[in-house]
Amino acid sequence: MPLKLVPPRKGKSPFWSVRGTYLGVYVDRTTKADKKNVAIQVLKKIEGEIERCEFAQPAELTFAAATLAYMKAGGERTYIRKLLEHFKEMPVIKLDQAAIDAAAVSL
């Protein structure tokens, strides 16, 4: 099912929502827009993020968030900066051996 705009529901929310699946990624979130034109732009932004593998679900832990938690817990900071610049907001769930190997080569 492609992504589609769901109109605001009276008494629930004044905002448009985006629902559906795009390239295998399920989306069900608000656009925080009460105008359809703005909601369409948000939908296109979400599609672009999915295409670039930058879309993170609200509950997904990103590399940046994991790094922050690691440092707050007293973790070693010596090599973190370059890794953080490389992986940025990449969801941790997408970090596999291939991503780690690519980072090792580029860094």
What is the per-residue pLDDT across 69-91, written as a single tens digit (0 to 9) for each? 888 888 888 888 889 889 888 88
What is the reported pTM? 0.55
Q: Say if 57 falls within a structural domain.
A: no
Instruction: Give pLDDT, residue 59.
Output: 67
CA distances from 70 to 10, 61, 75 (A): 43, 12, 5
Number of domains in the chain: 2
Average pLDDT over residues 40-57: 87
Question: Does one domain contain both 67 and 97?
Answer: yes
User: H or E element: which one contains 18?
Assistant: strand 17-22
- Give burial (CB, 10 Å; 0-12/13-18/19+) of 12: exposed
Instruction: Give pLDDT, residue 58.
Output: 66
- Domain residues for the domain of 71 are 63-106
Q: Say if 56 falls within a structural domain.
A: no
Dump pLDDT digits (tens) for 60-70: 788 888 888 88
Q: Say if 58 falls within a structural domain.
A: no
Question: Does one domain contain both 70 and 102?
Answer: yes
Helix, strand, or coil (residue 30) = strand
Average pLDDT over residues 5-13: 91
